[in-house]
Structure 1
């Protein structure tokens, strides 16, 4: 348990630091939008490209890992659709709850995997992201647009332009080309990748909105419990069912136990969703993950 805490507490310290920096206006309010944009469009895609360009894509276990990821997301998505039919949630609310359950904080996930397992773990995580990022984005967009008679296909273009999806695709194709990373390119990508995670975690903290936790206690509670406890339990069951190796199992469970993504708020606002509920889910899940992630990983490794 101590090694898990030693690996994870610096990550949450950066999140707290980002929140305090914004509250104190240490760098000015205008800093954070630019930092988020820099990370989202340049630094984080560089990390994903670098990880996938060197990942073992010819590994015969890849189809099994893909099956695990898609099975877990598919079961959770089917459960959401069934509950929505019974509850009659409007699209604005259903979209926020969907993102609260299915989306994940990629910055925190890669930082945790890197701290615990180093480059080998990051390679596994990059493969998982290549599968999960497009899937959860498609599910999230569908959840917002279905009720209003909007054709989901009209919203696919922004998804296909998503820099994270493009970086995953480009990294995988470059890997398969066998060209390697010559002329110092590997060093350049490594420097960009190294800057991405700490800056991303500071931005996560800056985006937290504790004032948004009021008024939605039941929805915030059950959605967060499912995301942080039920989803990793589902991933653990799937890993056992498919007999995944130890490292793949731990990374799968970790990603299914991450809090929802701060960028979910942007998509919610863009598509006319319940921004108050989404901001509350992001804040509560990020705060609770400081306790739930070490617990989940400790139980998995014990």
Structure 2
């Protein structure tokens, strides 16, 4: 218990710090969008690239990990489609609900995995992201645009341009080529990577919108409970079924237990979804995740 708290509380302290700084107007209102773009397009890709460029990629569990990710996301997606058919949600609401359940806060996930497992865990998480990020992005765009039709180009173009996916692919290719990171480039990437997660967590806090919690409380509550409790249980069942080892199972369950991605708000607003509902889901999930993540990891300690 103590080890878990020591690993997790600094991460949530950074989120709270970002929220407080943003509400106090420090350094200024224009800083946070710029900081988020810097992190998304440069610092975070540097972390992913560095995590995959030089480490061994011969983990024999990777095929089963990939299958576990696709099974978990696939089961959740089919359940969402069934509930949408029963409830008759329009795409604007369905897009917000589905992102609340399928998407995940990448910054928080990598920071937690790094605190718990160090570089081996980060490498495994980066490989998972190379599969999870494109899958979840396609499902998110489809859920928001299904009523008015969606082309293959509109689904694939955001993936092809996604800097996180490009960084994972580039890192894996450099690794497989055997070139390594010569001439101090590895040190440069390490410095950029070191700034990514703290800045990312501060930006997560700055993006929270507590004023949106006064709206649809039942909808916010059930969506958050499904994401923070049912999704990790689903991942745990999949991990047991595929007999994944302890670290792989923990990383899988952890990513399925994360609160949804703050960037879901931007996508929802751009594609005409219910942005207020999405903002409320993001905020409530992050408020509850401080307790739910500890509970999920304690359960894993007893079971694995």
TM-score normalized by the length of structure 1: 0.98
Q: Report how far residue 151 of structure 1 moved.
A: 2.4
| Alignment match, 2:68 | 68
| Partner SS for 1:229 | helix
1:145–1:151 Cα contact (<8 Å) kept: no
CA distance in 2, matches of 1:257, 1:84: 22
2:142–2:150 Cα contact (<8 Å) kept: no
| Alignment match, 1:182 | 182
CA distance in 2, matches of 1:194, 1:91: 39
| Alignment match, 2:266 | 266
| Partner SS for 1:51 | helix
CA distance in 2, matches of 1:37, 1:83: 35
| Alignment match, 1:16 | 16
CA distance in 1, matches of 2:86, 2:248: 35
CA distance in 2, matches of 1:115, 1:154: 37
Spell out, residue by residue over 1:245-298, the C-alpha distance to the aligned partner (whole angstroms, 9 max, x if none).
110011001000000000111111111110000000110001100000011001
1:55–1:126 Cα contact (<8 Å) kept: no
| Alignment match, 2:86 | 86
Q: Report how far residue 171 of structure 1 moved.
A: 1.3
| Alignment match, 1:300 | 300
1:259–1:282 Cα contact (<8 Å) kept: yes
| Alignment match, 1:290 | 290
| Alignment match, 1:243 | 243
Q: Report how far residue 152 of structure 1 moved.
A: 4.5
| Alignment match, 1:96 | 96
Aligned residues: 302
In structure 1, stretches of 5+ residues that fail to align are none
Spell out, residue by residue over 1:11-50, the C-alpha distance to the aligned partner (whole angstroms, 9 max, x if none).
0000000000011112010110110010000000111111
In the alignment, is residue 158 of structure 1 matched against residue 158 of structure 2? yes
In structure 2, stretches of 5+ residues that fail to align are none
Structure 2 matches for 1:197-212, cutoff 5 A? 197-212=197-212
Larger displacement relative to structure 2 (56-65 or 263-272) = 56-65
Spell out, residue by residue over 1:122-154, the C-alpha distance to the aligned partner (whole angstroms, 9 max, x if none).
111111111111110011011111111232433
CA distance in 2, matches of 1:55, 1:226: 35
RMSD, aligned CA: 1.0
1:8–1:112 Cα contact (<8 Å) kept: yes
Distance 1:135 1:297, change over 3 A: same
Where do 4+ consecutive residues of structure 1 move more than 4 Å? none
CA distance in 2, matches of 1:128, 1:158: 19
